[in-house]
Amino acid sequence: MIRVEKATKSYQSGKVKVRALNDVSLEVKKGEMAVLSGPSGSGKSTMLNVIGCLTRITGGRLWLADREVSHFPDHFLAAIRREKIGFIFQQFNLLSGYSTWENVSLPLLPMGISEKERRIRAMKLLEELNLETRADFMANELSGGEQQRAAIARALINDPEIILADEPLSNIDTGHVRMVIDILRELKKRGKTIIVSSHDTQPSMASLVDRTVYFASGEISLQEELGEEL
Amino acid sequence: MRIAGHINLWLMASQNLRRWRGKSLAIVIPLILVMATASFMMFTRGGFVKDAEIARGFLPDVTVQGIEAGRVGKISLAIKKRIEEIPHVKLVIPRVWGYLPLKIEGTDAAYTMMGLDLEQMVYDGKLPWTIEKGAFLAPGDRNKAVLGQGVALSFKTDVGERFVVEDTVDVGERLLVEDTLGNRGEFEVVGVLNNTVQIYSTDLIIVSLEDARLFFGYGENEASDLLVYADSPENVDRIAWEIAGSFKNTRVLTAKALTDLVKEAFGRRGGTFQAMWLILLTTVLLLVWAQSAHISVDVSKEIGILKAVGWQTGEIIEMRMMESLILGLGGTSIGILAGFLYALLGTPGISGYCLGCASVYPKFPVPVNCDFQSIVLLFILGVLPLMGVSAIPAWLAGVVDPDEAIRR
């Protein structure tokens, strides 16, 4: 279970102090899929970053898998990111000088897993995502949709319990939207907890969603709990 | 982290260097140039220092020169006996020496003829020079000479001819010399010195005291200087003070003072080397600063991504430092090798400046001394700053939240 309690997040932008999250509380149960929705700058991506331990909240508390992690030191948070969380970035964030399979297997590298084993595990995921023929392509040689799938594969390489996807449908063409939704459906079937941020909810994704949280100006304006319609 | 994890990071670091070949070369090529320059300077300077240290072993405890009209001139042997009576003086030996300004193949050259009292050699059975060929002079030898290698090579002349020898003057051949002042001498070459300390021996023609007196026109009671040996090192200064106080028309030089003179002779060049060191250090620092600036802009996002996918800050820093270590070790090793080869080749182009011996003919290579300490220092200079500047930006990007590092 993921629980956020009265979270605030402020940062300095020049001389201005910006409050990206303001007293936000949220709960997502294990195996649920939640969508964080709202316009740009509403705080949904910041919320996703907080849950993904990519940034720390300046106030409030955060629980991941029943452990409060708000005050964990950096190396514990890195371990959580490596073992528990798979993060799919809006801009994909693949490393350009590396091949597709190398990008996918990056999280495994410091764990001491051999190159052979890393490649086997990466190839398995790339096959599932129909990307095996691009395994040795450089990341910058991939199309947008291929980069998206490579980013998904990287997020799944450690078989994490929690999948966080920041605007996963916004930078790909309509042909690939269906495919990404299918991947999310499959992950949900496997019992993964999924949180997606999206400025607009795709009708085809709505059927997967258990909970929609609407953000506006760093606060939750509305929460909807929906029945699962798999 | 397990050892296998470290190995993976090291392998990735080396792959990264291949991956970013252009960037790696942009760092490693200037590094090679800087380290080659630094190493040849260090090895050359080390050669001078080593030669100076060896030369000190050649010197008598005290050298006494005569002063005539305020200038160095002949010294009368009348004071020899009085110096011998000074407490703690073990031995006083007269020496006659002078320069031979000659023209060899149209080149101005200068050689040093040194006449030694062969009956009173006091090197405890060890000569300050080592002999490459033949033997050293023996007591009673007349019209015989031992040559420095430069002299042996220069006199390409046959016996009986002046300065034009068909072959190198070798042991057993005869050397006929006449300087520009008309002084003449004919000597049988009995030995050739080796080139252990070329800068001090290459131009030497060592003959008996009597032969040198004859050549330079010295009287029987005259010498160029007196070499004074003390019974123990702690009495040297006392003896020197005593001589200086007792004999007004003398110049008294201890071995230390003479060594200081030698050091001063190369001190200015040493100073130039120090200045060049500073320039090189600045170059290295600029290089690593440029590298650091490049990292901070270009790689901050990459560091953020690596952190986001679960890398620890320490793992990222380790990988960056490994990259720099490989670059630093590679660039420094190649640079040191290149510098060493350049020094061995005689520092073409700048040897005249390094040696400062324009009148020494033939030219000889700049002395080279490649010691462990210098190599360690060069590696420290070449590797540590590079590792430092790669670690600092990696650390700066690593200590912020991944989200912030990605968005920088």
Nearest Cα to Cα of residue A186 among A125, A119, A96: A125
Closest CA of chain A from B395, distance in Å: 13
With a cut of 60, say whether residue A91 has pLDDT above it: yes
Among residues 265-304 of chain B, which lie with CB inside 8 Å of chain A? Answer: 301-302
- Does B46 or A210 have the greater pLDDT score? A210
Tell me what the pLDDT averaged over chain B comes to: 78
* B390 sits in which H/E element: helix B372-398
* Other C-beta atoms lying within 10 Å of the C-beta of residue B248: 7
pLDDT value at residue A126: 95
How does A71-86 read in b/e, with b if 16+ C-beta sit within 10 Å? ebebeebbebbbebbb
The ipTM value here is 0.91
B243: its two tokens: 């001589």
With a cut of 60, say whether residue B297 has pLDDT above it: no
Integer Cα distance of A35 and A48 in angstroms: 10
With a cut of 70, say whether residue B267 has pLDDT above it: no
With a cut of 90, say whether residue A127 has pLDDT above it: yes
B209: its two tokens: 């005291």
The angle that helices A144-156 and A174-189 make with each other, rounded to 10 degrees, is: 10
- Does B363 or B139 have the greater pLDDT score? B139
CB contact under 8 A, B315 and A110: yes
Least confident of B22-36, B190-204, B241-255: B190-204
- pLDDT tier at A137 (50, 70, 90 boundaries)? very high
pLDDT value at residue B239: 93
- Does B339 or B269 have the greater pLDDT score? B339
* DSSP symbols for A122-163: HHHHHHHTT-GGGTTSBGGGS-HHHHHHHHHHHHHTT--SEE
Prediction pTM value? 0.70
Q: How far is CA B262 from CA A43, B273, B382, in A?
A: 76, 16, 31
3-state secondary structure of A4: strand
Q: Would you call the peptide bond into B362 cis, given omega within 30 degrees of 0 as the criterion?
A: yes
Residue B367 is given by DSSP the state P
The structural domains of chain B, with segments of one domain joined by +, span: 3-55+262-407, 96-221
CB contact under 8 A, A111 and B5: yes
Q: How far is CA B346 from CA A9, A151, B33, B44, B338, in A?
A: 68, 59, 18, 10, 13
Closest CA of chain A from B293, distance in Å: 20
Residue in chain A lying closest to B315 (CA):
A110
Integer Cα distance of A132 and A125 in angstroms: 8
Closest CA of chain B from A211, distance in Å: 25
Residue in chain A lying closest to B4 (CA):
A112
Which phi-psi region, left, alpha or beta, contains residue A70 (left: φ > 0; alpha: ψ -120 to 50)?
A: alpha
3-state secondary structure of A193: strand
Whether B327 and B401 have beta carbons less than 8 Å apart is answered as: no
Integer Cα distance of A183 and A128 in angstroms: 9
pLDDT > 70: what percent of chain B?
A: 76
Integer Cα distance of B130 and B201 in angstroms: 10
CB contact under 8 A, A49 and B3: no
In this predicted model, what pLDDT tens digit does every residue of A160-178 receive, in sequence order?
999 999 988 877 777 778 8
pLDDT value at residue A125: 93
Least confident of A119-128, B117-126, B185-194, B281-290: B117-126
- pLDDT tier at B122 (50, 70, 90 boundaries)? low
Closest CA of chain B from A183, distance in Å: 20
Least confident of A42-56, B175-189, B308-322: B175-189
Domains and CATH numbers, chain A: 2-225 (3.40.50.300)
The shortest CB-CB distance from A55 to any of B20, B399, B403 is to: B403
With a cut of 70, say whether residue B294 has pLDDT above it: no
CB contact under 8 A, A107 and B310: yes
- The sign one gets for the Cα dihedral A47, A53, A56, A60 is positive
* DSSP symbols for B109-145: EEEEEEEE-GGG--STT--SS-EEEE----TT--SEE
- Please name the residues in contact with B267: beta carbons below 8 A apart, sequence gap of 6 or more: none
pLDDT value at residue B169: 59
Whether B54 and B196 have beta carbons less than 8 Å apart is answered as: yes
- pLDDT tier at A230 (50, 70, 90 boundaries)? very low
pLDDT value at residue A49: 94
pLDDT value at residue A21: 92
CB contact under 8 A, A81 and B309: yes
Integer Cα distance of B165 and B155 in angstroms: 6
End-to-end CA distance of chain A: 21
Integer Cα distance of A107 and A115 in angstroms: 12
**Cβ contacts of A47 on chain B, cutoff 8 Å:** none
Q: What are phi and psi of B365, to 5 degrees?
A: -65, 150
Residue in chain A lying closest to B398 (CA):
A74
In this predicted model, what pLDDT tens digit does every residue of B150-208 receive, in sequence order?
777 776 543 333 333 334 456 666 777 776 666 777 888 888 887 665 566 778 888 89
**CA torsion angle for B293, B298, B301, B302 (degrees, to 10)?**
-110
Q: Residues of chain A whose C-beta is under 8 A from some C-beta in B?
A: 49, 52, 54-56, 74-75, 78-79, 81-83, 87, 89, 93, 95, 97-98, 106-107, 109-115, 154, 158
The angle that helices B255-298 and B372-398 make with each other, rounded to 10 degrees, is: 30
The shortest CB-CB distance from B312 to any of A75, A113, A114 is to: A75
In this predicted model, what pLDDT tens digit does every residue of B331-389 receive, in sequence order?
999 999 999 898 888 777 766 665 554 445 555 566 778 888 889 988 998 888 888 87
Mean pLDDT of the region B273-281: 71
End-to-end CA distance of chain B: 28
CB contact under 8 A, A107 and B3: no
Integer Cα distance of A3 and A72 in angstroms: 15
In this predicted model, what pLDDT tens digit does every residue of B63-99 receive, in sequence order?
999 888 878 888 988 899 899 999 999 889 899 988 8
Nearest Cα to Cα of residue B45 among B196, B269, B197: B269
